[in-house]
Structure 1
Amino acid sequence: MTASLQKKDNIVYVVLSWKQGNKRKQKWVPTELPLKYGKRIGEATRIAVLKEWEPKLIIEYSTMTLGAFLLDWVERKKTSIEDTTYNEYKRMISNTIAPYFDENGITFQECNTNDIETFYKYKMEEDKVSANTISHYQACIYSAFKDGMRRDLVLANPAEKVVLPKVPKFKGSFYTKIELDAIIAASAGTRLEIPIYLASWLGMRRGEIAGARWSSVDFHDKTLTVNGVVAYQSNGENGGNIKYRDHTKSPAGMRAFPLSDDNIKKLMYWKAQQAQNSILAGDQYDTTWKDFICVNELGGLISPNYISWAFPKFIKKHGFRKVRFHDLRHTNAVLLLTNGATMQEVQAWLGHEDFSTTDKYYSGNYTETKKRTAMLMDAIMTQSCEKEHNG
């Protein structure tokens, strides 16, 4: 790095110049020097600024391992991505990606497409990870190299040419209407009553259920608005905590559900029950989550992590067929589709940002709806032919 004194707009600057990747960079640092300064004080200022800024600006990316670069990248991204995304990327890099590339001595600027494909092959053959997991690794590595290109640290993105293993088409499990009625009935009076009911009736996600608030329920107009979620926020080695976010992952997630009379009846019952629990528990009742629908008998939030932990135990205890909690959401979608809802209606109902997501998950369950459409078209065309024949 070099440093020189330059005057511009009646200010004396120390101009720092250094090579980053294949390009030269500059930074103009303003000083308090007068326009007419002595040689000695000018030189002292130049050296002081150089010593202060050189460690901040010069990073030896040419020798930095890919793992170190990825960790540096994810920390840079921390303020611009969701906490859950940051935590997932950080965990993936620290536990899986960085150890492999660092142990194999692969640096950031030397990494090529073959190195990345070899890593994916190793993970699938040795650790038996799925093609879907590989796609998550790819998203992380691709994004990091793309940012490296933007910052002129590399000329190309080696992840761009990677040939990924084919991800099997999603086949979600779901309950029949009879099974769903039984599981809702069995959950009555348990901590899973509210989560199971809202997932089954409204197709809500775990974070949306935990984040549902009484202030978002309009009992007069009979609507429940999803305008926030609860997620787990990691604090690194110190563990983590649950945190409410007043927004959803995408704008499509912000949606209002029209409520049936049964829904209103349930919500009013839960609200009255919480008021009664608050009186019975007295000072022991946790008021931190007093505006939240999904709380236990002592006012504590029923978190997404608790739902995932408790649901498998619940269905095993009651002898229900093994599915994930998220499959209640799939059940909701399948029941809607098989009873006449369109894919676009289900997309809006579930809060999918892209139609492709709905199509990927549920196109296989769209057969009955398409059959009804075909029958309708057949009736229209048959009627037209009859009119033409009679005419």
Structure 2
Amino acid sequence: MAGKTGPYDGPEGLGRFHSELTVWLDEHDTSFPRRACGMSLSDEVARSRANQSRLWQAGWLRYGWPETVGGLGGSRLLRAAVAEQAARRGLFYDTLAAVGEVLGPTVVEAAPGLAERCITPFLDGTEGWCQGFSEPEAGSDLASLRCRAVDAGDHWVVTGQKVWTSYAQFASRMVLLARTGSAEDRHRGITALLVDMDSPGVTVRPLQAINDMAEFSETFFDGVRVSKDRVIGEVGGGWSVAMRMLRHERGGIFWMLSAWLLDELEKLAGTADLGVADDEAVGRLFASVAALRARSWTTQHRLAAGAIETPETSIDKILMATAEQELFDLVRTSLDGVLEFADDESVAWLRSSYMYSRAASVYGGTAEIQRNIVADQVLGLRSP
């Protein structure tokens, strides 16, 4: 933590924080492990957590978190500044880092006592967590979930299944949404729980995806006992917790992803065989990334001020999915068959990224549903 001159309050403080962080990262750049050809997913997870731990121990990642969980306080904008630098330097496996920015703030806000007891090893990279929301018949319609938690006195008994659980095979705990009311209660009968993944009755089955990575898993719960002190928020208040997570998912992590997309765009412009015929596509892509960056930065400030509602962040999700897919569509066409047919490992990562981009308009709420939310809840265009 040497060299910091905080506190980093207000625009001037944020600018000073960014400058000091940049200087420190430049000085220590070669000491951070980077992605290498042929790395397995478990290697990527280990690399990301090692870099996360290094940034936490140096103090940078502790800003923006309350002192009760080992943080150094300050605005969440400080976290966004670190996320941006980490993305542009390739320090984290991006979607793994997203899990921290989604779950961490939610648990701190909704269950501060639980966060004080449990969350620091997650924030400092010692352990991983995962998110248990989607089910085989409850994806975008999350209120129809059927994984059930039954009150058994001093604990809950959880039975059911989750799917598309990111990095569950590497996780120590899961933030789980389970039904504690009746099916007819819909969103009013859901409770959020923090579940230990090594509990008896938890089974994780990784799913090999089209991008040739097993980032997602099916997770099964067979009579899993969860202590009553592991409720996040209130019993029956899981929907509110889920909405908090959506806000955070589209907060700092989208700013990080926008920085990564900007970096990939610069690489593409410098290496691809782009000609005059590509000008329109490149211009449209640049406009999409710039729109995402502008919107996301506004969202960061409004989140920090507590002045944004979840439906508004659907705009960020639409912009992010559009920019990511436009980028990798241009990558594929500009490389003229390399992405489809080359066998060398240097192309394998790019091919995997292209395949993953196809899901950008699906995960976290489909593009169609996000547009309906914007039309209905933001623009007030609901049909009579």
Higher relative contact order (CA 8 A, sep 6+): 2
What TM-score results when the alignment is normalised by the length of structure 1? 0.26
What TM-score results when the alignment is normalised by the length of structure 2? 0.26
- Higher gyration radius (CA): 1
